A and B are shown apart, each in its own frame.
Chain A
Amino acid sequence: MTVEALFVALGVCVVAAPAILLLVIGGTFLASRPLSENAMARWTASCVACALLAAVAVLSLMLATGSRYVPVELGDWAKIPEEHFHFHLTFVFDRLSTPFLILTLVLCGTTSAFAHRYLHRDPGYGRFFLAFAVFLFGMVVATLAGAIETLFLGWELVGLSSALLVAFFHDRASPVLNGQRIWSIYRLSDAAFLLAGVVIHHVSRTGDFNGMMGTGSWPEGKAALTSGQALGAGLLLLVAAAGKSGLIPFSGWLPRAMEGPTPSSAVFYGALSVHLGTYLLLRVSPILELSPVLGTATVALGLATAAFASIAGRVQADVKGALAFASLTQVGIITAEIGLGLRYIPLIHMIGHACLRTLQLLRAPSLLYDYHALEDAIGDRIGGDVASSRWLSEPRRRGLYRLGFQRGELDDSLDRFVAAPFVRIFQRFDRLERRWTDFLAGTTSRESDRRTAPAPIGEEA
């Protein structure tokens, strides 16, 4: 067997293992023959281990052979040769995707083992692992994607599983409304991503990252776009990344996402999902390099997010909320690093931060126990943050406190200036339509009016 064939076999194994997991859990669910808790945990552990071993083998081979770019071509998913329309299914192992893939698999394996015990006998155990399988498959696809469309496929799967897991405790309205809000932000970010993909496809005549970034593997590639094209496509990508990673002005969804079960909070919002936006920026970094304006915007967005999250994180009353903003602070800094043109440092920062935050979030349910143990060990109470009192006057501290406590009113602003006018406009159209059909019918035209409850949509929010 040649080295190339071995690469292909291992690459297929990496992608196939999570796909099989999804097929098994999803298939048994649709067949109304759900697996037992132990069987589900075993399947998850086996598939993650299989993918992880294959990924490590790929990395070892890359190091041994000195390969920096290993494409695994699975052919065209759909093609119209006459129109030069190809939907390549290409997965790429390079210096960006391979470490991130290994990180993904390690953290998913750890979290699934934790969740097996944490959710034991929970009625939603199967639902959690089904969404988890969707997430794992989405992350692997997004990480290894060799074309923008493939990345979009993974990106969407991650978003869907994320929203469903936030709404995991769906007997209560609050998690569901938060899941819905997150899905709204994700859809916005998806739209920006898809538009960016279409624009890039249109101007560069290819959706493959390899073709798009010109010669040289990551991070040395040079994008085959003009500065103006890079700015247009790059800004759309920045919006997509901001939505996915919770950067300003979309930061409000991240603490809301903590409504989900702790294992999903850890792996989604502490570790992987929240870094998917920055991963996208790293993947398209050659485009960022083409436009100084774009680079500056990226740095500004990252720093503003980091500053805001740092302030908001200090006044959170719950540990998961505080950890969410702590994550966001680091994600903001990572974004700024990418905007500054750094490549390996943000990658290392992402990996380190993801591991630390996963540990912290998984320990979050036993935080008070840990605090007591620490206080017992040092023989004194653990103090609060006193440094700020030395530097800031009382009114400024109050102002910052208000800003942090109200989370910058970012959610309120989006509601007031985007969602509410939209809903108002269409409700007005709805009323007009009612009048028109009543007029045409010569009577009350809506049978459904007699069935619906009086509460308007979103009132619970």
Chain B
Amino acid sequence: MAELRFPWLSLAVLICILGSIWDGLARTPEAARRRSLAASGLALTCTLAAWLDFVLLGAHEARDPWEPTARILGEPLLTLDLLSAPKSSLAALLYFLTNLATLRAKAREFSFARSLASEAILLATFACKAPWAVAALLAIGTIPPFLELRKAGKPRRVYVLHAGLFIGLLVLGVALLGRPGDGANPSIVAIAVLALAVAVRSGVAPFHCWMTDLFEHATFGTALLFVAPMPGAYGAMRMVLPYAPPWILQAVSSASLATAVYAAGMALVQREARRFFCYLFLSHSSLVLVGLETATPIGVAGALYLWLSSALSLTGFGLTMRCVESRMGRVSLSDFNGLYRHVPLLAALFLITGLASVGFPGTVGFIGLEMLVDGAVKSFPIVGALVVVVAALNGLAVIHAYFRIFTGRPHASSIDLNVRPAERAAVLVLTALILGGGLYPQLGVGGRYHAAVALSRARRRDTETPVDVSHRTAFPEPHGGSTKDVESLSGRSPVPIVPPSDRVAVDRSGGKP
């Protein structure tokens, strides 16, 4: 495995941990804000440097040099590959911009120290590949929102029940996987349990209620940062996708598609902006899991691209909505709030980020959605049709919310509601990325396609192997060959590069080459 020139990943995580401690010692909210900006800015620089270093290395996978855990565990813990390289940078960017857009008035509710702690956990999660490590970090990642709910004295039973279920399933799944590092031959029960855990974390219906509950009770910033980077999807790619037989993927995909349709409908009948945003997010983010099951490289590439674009645009949309909320409190969608006269720029940004989040042409989300639909139609035409319906409904919901928030008789206010420079900078950066990605999508498309091919290879390698010795007979033998042929493949021998059509056939046929 190639080595990065500098331990960027460890450094990014370390900076966030130290920043969190330093931030906790700050005496004023303004000092805490400044420190968090410095720490998250440095972490962002490190992740960007890691990405650049990785690209310059030209490797498929690279690890941090001088990593102490490598000696203890026998394998490097923090690595970067085609899948995780942009995700780490994106996560760091989202944290930095959210901290930047947090006004002093909100600093007492939104804990910067906790935000940095969450960032450290998330960056470590995205830098891990080993299923047990990903599971452990995903479980730890549920703690900071709980602490916030507890500190604010908000109801937390819904969150705790779901987080408990998630952690329980993760523990059970990892326990069934066997000892750490032996992920090559997992039992089917373990994969099913882990898939269920991923479904809970991703808010797949009927396990989505924790998400709406979190948006109800936590601060908008915390809720946004907990869901927007979509760590559940990352868990699916690391713990489920490489090993799962097609029926598990189909089950996850069908549930995600149903969630996408359901949440799109629910977004349209919400009377409050946060809940609307939550359902919109749920609907669009569910499409990422739908794309993974299409099992065509183009569909998976579309899903991966959509993952980045959704995270980017939905965070932009969320931050815009947070700006609105910080001016007028919880926003009712039953009334016309008439904010346009005060904040026309915010209205434009709301529209751009909102439409980008539903894949409007000319924005970053369009190509991803197009690829996803293309891949889905090749696998199951009805899936493609439903994805289009979801996109149409979400577009409807965004404009509905826009009209409710910004139109109507001008909102009466005795104070200046105009956008503050920090808020403007945060949302404009995201808008520039959204429009830039829409105008020149090839950069992301090429990278995501290579990541999808790498995932397909990993999946081919693992699904060609019978899932478990005890389940060997349940899986057909490739090419009508003997079990011996199959066993020869189970030793993770180099996989020949096959045409895309063959890879599709492999993935769609339950392991038959």
Contacts and interface: CB of A to CB of B under 8 A. Distances in A.
B457 to A, nearest CB: 13
B157 A179 contact: no
Given A180-B400, A448-B330, A156 B360 contact: yes
Interface in B198-229: 209, 212-213, 216-217
Say whether chain A's binding surface is mostly helix, strand, loop, or mixed. helix
B412 to A, nearest CB: 13
A64 interface: no
B410 A171 contact: yes
Contact of A443 (B155, B349, B384, B424): B155
Interface string A177-199: 00110011001101100110011
Contacts of B373: 194, 198
A456 B404 CA distance: 12
Contacts of B275: 448
B345 interface: yes
B392 A190 contact: yes
A157 B410 CA distance: 27
A183 to B, nearest CB: 5
A75 to B, nearest CB: 10
A423 B301 contact: no
Contacts, number: 180
Given A179-B403, A180-B399, A440 B161 contact: yes
A441 B392 contact: no
B265 A429 contact: yes
A143 to B, nearest CB: 16
Contacts of A152: 361
A157 B363 CA distance: 11
A160 interface: yes
A134 to B, nearest CB: 10
Interface in B308-337: 329-330, 332-336
A456 B271 contact: yes
Nearest to A149: B370
Contacts of B483: none
A78 interface: yes
A83 B155 contact: no
Interface string B151-190: 0001101100100000000000000000000000000000
A63 interface: no
A157 B298 contact: no
B391 A191 contact: yes
Interface stretch (A103-111, A211-219, A381-389, A430-438): A430-438
A425 interface: yes
A426 B266 contact: yes
A455 B155 contact: no
A161 to B, nearest CB: 11
A19 B392 CA distance: 25
B334 A452 contact: yes
A433 B209 contact: yes
A353 interface: no
B330 A451 contact: yes
A76 interface: yes
A390 B137 CA distance: 83
A83 B297 contact: yes
Contact of A201 (B344, B374, B424): B374
Contacts of B209: 433, 436-437, 440
A202 B298 CA distance: 14
Contacts of A442: 157
A191 B388 contact: yes
Contact of B403 (A87, A149, A176): A176
Interface in A406-459: 422-423, 425-427, 429-430, 433, 436-437, 440-443, 445-448, 451-457
B355 interface: yes
A180 B15 CA distance: 47
Given A171-B410, A451-B329, A456-B271, A77 B442 contact: yes
Contact of B409 (A79, A123, A171, A456): A171
A173 interface: yes
Nearest to A422: B265
A448 B154 CA distance: 13
A191 B358 CA distance: 13
B378 A202 contact: yes
Interface in B417-467: 424, 428, 431, 441-442, 445-446, 449
A237 to B, nearest CB: 14
B145 to A, nearest CB: 15
Contacts of A180: 399-400, 403
A453 B332 contact: yes
B408 interface: yes
B333 A187 contact: no
A170 interface: yes
Interface in B373-417: 373-374, 377-378, 381, 384-385, 388-389, 391-393, 395-396, 399-400, 403, 406-410
Contacts of A173: 336, 408
Contact of B361 (A156, A199, A446): A156
The 7 A-B pairs with the shortest beta carbon distances in the complex, nearest first, are A170-B407, A448-B272, A191-B392, A451-B330, A153-B361, A426-B265, A187-B392
Interface of A: 29-30, 32, 76-80, 82-83, 85, 87, 123, 127, 149, 152-153, 156-157, 160, 163, 167, 170-171, 173, 176, 179-180, 183-184, 187-188, 190-191, 194-195, 198-199, 201-202, 422-423, 425-427, 429-430, 433, 436-437, 440-443, 445-448, 451-457
5 contacts: A83-B500, A152-B361, A171-B408, A437-B209, A437-B212
Interface of B: 154-155, 157-158, 161, 209, 212-213, 216-217, 262, 265-266, 268-272, 274-275, 296-298, 301, 329-330, 332-336, 338, 340-341, 344-345, 348-349, 355, 360-362, 366-367, 370-371, 373-374, 377-378, 381, 384-385, 388-389, 391-393, 395-396, 399-400, 403, 406-410, 424, 428, 431, 441-442, 445-446, 449, 500
